[in-house]
Amino acid sequence: LSVLEYFISTHGARKGLADTALKTADAGYLTRRLVDVAQDVTITEEDCGTILGLEMSALKEGEDIIEPLRERVVGCVALDEVTDPHELDEDGRPKVLVEAGKLILEETSQAIEDAGIETVKIRSVLTCEAKRGVCRMCYGRNLATMDMVDLGEAVGILAAQSIGEPGTQLTLRTFHIGGTAARIAEQTVRKTKVEGVIEHGDRLTFVKTPEGHQVVTSYEGELILKAAAHGGHTAAAKLAVHSRFQVPLGATLMVEDGQKVAKDGVLFTWDPYTNPIMTDVGGLVRFVDIVDDETVREELDEITGRRQRVIIEDREKKPGSVGGPGARQGVA
């Protein structure tokens, strides 16, 4: 640093020290108020008997898994029986991984993920029906002892302190949270979790472009992934529906009907920023009220270096396209 830069930076350094001193007090006061409202929340009974719960799935940002399902459900009590859809027990029924009302342990949660299960229903404090406080079954494991929580445990104060601790960092803005724009940018490819056979849903329609791409023209189309039981063959009788994928309008299909796909195989790609205009029949498209320098102009994209034609709104002219008798579609 030069002498001038060093002198200028002292202003920001002093402001930072002052903010730290003031905002730490605010964060401490937040913790105090949280404890004040949550101090009555304790473990008051064994089981409230609720039939409600939460459906947990892996926490994702685009296609990247931020927190896998096994980490989100471990230490919780299963609301419903969790079964392996691909493996059978001695009686020919789906193999039970976790019984309803049992604590999900590390090895169990790993088995759930290995089976390709995407959602698990668990008991939660948010849906607990205890008259006062919460019950043991809805709370689950105490992370301090790594065992089921004990009756009388002050879980409200524990939660208040847990929120208050990162609250200090939050007010001081010492960490960064990713924005939604980056999240949308990554959601352009859909992949399979397990190997199997893909079937096209009844409502899925598409057209083939001159380049050979299959572009989806239906609003409610879906792909159905059928997977075989562990160790079984991919014969039709052995397959069971594993998952369904909603295919957005304008997506490009990468798989044929009845095609075998490997794990992490790409099913379709799409552009979330594009709003496609589709026609039901083939024919000629005629532009209406699209006049150079009046309703359309050429703009240079500085990033790609390409020129593109951009529609300008006009009070009198209504730029659009006609594709058939009486049909008219506005252009955005």
Q: What is the pLDDT of residue 28?
A: 81
Do 170 and 31 fall into the same domain? Answer: yes
196 and 73 share one domain:
no
Residue 281 lies in a domain: no
pLDDT at 329 over 80: no
Instruction: Give a yes or no: residue 274 inside a domain.
Output: no
Q: Are residues 319 and 263 in the same domain?
A: no
Residue 172 sits at φ, ψ, to 5 deg, of -85, -5
Residues 50 and 146 in one domain: yes
User: Around Cβ 297, how many Cβ atoms within 10 Å?
Assistant: 12
**Predicted local distance difference test score (pLDDT) of residue 242:** 77
Are residue 6 and residue 141 in the same domain, yes or no? no
Is 166's pLDDT higher than 60?
Answer: yes
Q: What is the 8-class DSSP label of residue 24? A: H
Calpha distance 320→299 (Å, rounded) = 19
Q: What is the pLDDT averaged over residues 294-313?
A: 80
Distance CA 130, CA 136 (A): 10
pLDDT average, residue stretch 206-218: 84
- How much of the chain is in helix, strand and coil states, percent to nearest 5? 25, 30, 45
Predicted structure pTM score? 0.56
- Which residues form the domain of 291? 286-330
How many domains would you assign to the chain?
A: 4
Shared-domain flag, residues 320 and 296: yes
24 and 163 both lie in a single domain: yes
**Partners of 141 in beta bridges:** 148
Highest mean pLDDT among 172-176, 183-187, 209-213, 226-230: 209-213
Average pLDDT, the chain: 81
- CB of 216 closer than 8 Å to CB of 268: yes
Confidence of residue 210 (pLDDT cuts 50, 70, 90): confident
The percentage of the chain sitting over the pLDDT mark of 90, rounded to a whole number, equals 26
| Domain co-membership, 33 together with 160 | yes
pLDDT in the model for residue 229: 60
Question: What is the SS3 assignment for 31?
Answer: helix
Is residue 103 pLDDT above 90, yes or no?
yes
- 245-262: string of b/e by CB count within 10 Å (b at 16+)? bebebbbbbbbeeeeebe
Q: How far is CA 116 from the centre of its chain?
A: 16
Confidence of residue 319 (pLDDT cuts 50, 70, 90): low
123 in any annotated domain = yes
Residue 277 lies inside a defined structural domain of this protein: no
In a domain, 64, yes or no: yes
220 within domain boundaries: yes
Whether residues 71 and 160 share a domain: the answer is no
